[in-house]
A and B are shown apart, each in its own frame.
Chain A
Amino acid sequence: MITKRIIPCLDVRDGRVVKGVHFQGLADVSSPVSLGKFYSDNGADELVFYDITASVEGRGLFTDILRQVASQIFIPLTVGGGINAIEDFDRVLKCGGDKVSVNSGAIKNPNLVLEAAKKYGDQCVVLSVDMKRVDGKFMVFAKGGRENTGMEGLSWIKRCEKMGAGEIVVNSIDTDGVKKGFDLEMLEAVCDIASVPVIASGGAGCVEDFVDLFHALPKVDAGLAASIFHFGEVTIPNLKRTLAENNIIVRR
């Protein structure tokens, strides 16, 4: 049986993990390599590295880091942030990324999804969507959730799927950072129309939120979170143990 995936997300700026991390026994908590390895050793099923650097120098540092991560960590690596052109896919895939997550780049140029899927295969292209409720509709937001694109989320997802997006990360702006659970209503709407794997993001505050997610929506394939893992509020071994006790199939 296919297992539900647990995916920690690491924001990287100038080659360092941004959010402070509280772990015992981890000497360099802001090194993407040691933190990535820590998660991998503790049962993370996949890692997402998100480049939030703005400068060219930072981009270079990021690819150096990615190369180091990929030479030491042997689980799937997804890379996002600053993916605006097919050259960006080339850049991160050559350094050991397995999948590339595209968000604003696809909004600016939807053909990027098509082009990348043709060149690298659907499995390589992850569409990340930031959505928020506006007048009862799920709308796509750009610029880190600050700008309403005017596009309706479900049709945007369907359109990208047709162009070759192989997985969809659904990030609910409404629940992000609130830590009261995933946005089950939004995720259900996406699961109803998506025929590729759906990854839930935004809102997890505790282990039970993941249990609720996979119980309520068996079609969701994975749960993604950042700070609750980094701050140790939820540890992956404990999370997986609890999921297994609740009859949710996970890799142990």
Chain B
Amino acid sequence: MIAIVDYGVGNLFSLKSSLGVIGAEVEVTGDAEVLRNSEKIILPGVGAFEDAIEKLRKTGLDKVILEEAANGKPLLGICLGMQMLFEKSYEYGEHLGLGLIEGSVKSITPVVGDALKVPHIGWNGLIFSKEKSVLYRYVEEDECVYFVHSFAAMDCDSAVTATTEYGAMLTASVEKGNVYGTQFHPEKSGEVGLKILRAFCEL
């Protein structure tokens, strides 16, 4: 069973449905025991970093996620859920993340240049790092996925599995051991997104 962490942030309807259509058994849960008994964990998230990480800490599920990740359970952070995997975020202040992956989350405004709009909204191509991530086993380079974000993970080169070009090379996905993260929304990225979720389910 795949557990989607419900900590009162974001719209989990599509994520749950998308895992359903690829045949995965899914539970949306805020229950620590269910997370412990799951085979894999997905940490979603939209909105502001500070608000989300505070809500997650209030539920106490941050500790459960850290324990389960340390036990080797596959963990996938999506969008803000991916950003929370990092040590720090500089979104409106400075906030500590879960610290599972080295690096920090910063505004993309200084790096994308004046000609481009922030947030980065829309479909953009994936450029893989040298070693192709297992999450991309069914996906080809340059295939497009759907992004909506104003902040991105930086200073995390060794963990980056794909980037996307938007005025600069922005981190599209990361991986460290059993911990995975996508800045884009696989549950909103059509067939390509479903293939990425399928690869995660098959881990």
- For B122, the closest partner residue in chain A by CB is A2
Interface residues of A in 102-151 (CB under 8 A from B): 120-123
Of A12-20, A23-31, A69-77, A230-238, the one touching chain B: A69-77
What is the minimal beta-carbon distance from A196 to any residue of chain B, in angstroms?
A: 6
Interface residue? B120 (CB, 8 A): yes
- For B13, the closest partner residue in chain A by CB is A96
Given contacts A72-B17, A75-B188, A76-B146, contact A122 B119 (CB under 8 A): yes
Most chain B beta carbons < 10 A, residue from A74, A95, A98: A74
Check A95 against B13 for contact (C-beta < 8 Å).
yes
Check B46 against A121 for contact (C-beta < 8 Å).
yes
Check A5 against B17 for contact (C-beta < 8 Å).
no
**Chain A contact residues: over half helix, strand or loop, or mixed?**
loop
Selected from A1, A75, A166, the residue in CB contact (under 8 A) with B125 is: A1
Check B193 against A195 for contact (C-beta < 8 Å).
no
B-chain residues with CB within 8 Å of residue A197 when the two chains form the complex: 117, 121-122
Check A76 against B13 for contact (C-beta < 8 Å).
no
Interface residue? B189 (CB, 8 A): yes
B-chain residues with CB within 8 Å of residue A180 when the two chains form the complex: none
Interface residue? A241 (CB, 8 A): no
- For A94, the closest partner residue in chain B by CB is B13
- For A120, the closest partner residue in chain B by CB is B47
- For B125, the closest partner residue in chain A by CB is A1
Interface residues of A in 1-58 (CB under 8 A from B): 1-3, 5, 40, 45
What is the minimal beta-carbon distance from A213 to any residue of chain B, in angstroms?
A: 16
B-chain residues with CB within 8 Å of residue A67 when the two chains form the complex: 13
Interface residue? A221 (CB, 8 A): yes
A-chain residues with CB within 8 Å of residue B124 when the two chains form the complex: 1-3
A221–B120 CA distance with the chains assembled, in angstroms: 11
Interface residue? B29 (CB, 8 A): no
Selected from B11, B116, B148, B166, the residue in CB contact (under 8 A) with A96 is: B11
**Chain B contact residues: over half helix, strand or loop, or mixed?**
mixed
A196-211 contact mask (Cβ, 8 Å, vs B): 1 or 0: 1100000000000000
A-chain residues with CB within 8 Å of residue B201 when the two chains form the complex: none
B5-23 contact mask (Cβ, 8 Å, vs A): 1 or 0: 0000001011001101100
What is the minimal beta-carbon distance from B203 to any residue of chain A, in angstroms?
A: 20
B-chain residues with CB within 8 Å of residue A2 when the two chains form the complex: 116, 120, 122-124, 166
A-chain residues with CB within 8 Å of residue B119 when the two chains form the complex: 122-123, 166, 196
Check B144 against A3 for contact (C-beta < 8 Å).
yes
A-chain residues with CB within 8 Å of residue B13 when the two chains form the complex: 67, 70-71, 94-96
Most chain B beta carbons < 10 A, residue from A121, A195, A197: A121
Check B122 against A72 for contact (C-beta < 8 Å).
no
Given contacts A72-B21, A123-B148, contact A166 B121 (CB under 8 A): yes
Check B121 against A167 for contact (C-beta < 8 Å).
yes
Interface residue? B113 (CB, 8 A): no
A120–B116 CA distance with the chains assembled, in angstroms: 23
8 pairs, CB–CB < 8 Å, chain A vs chain B? A1-B125, A2-B123, A5-B122, A72-B17, A74-B18, A74-B194, A121-B47, A121-B48
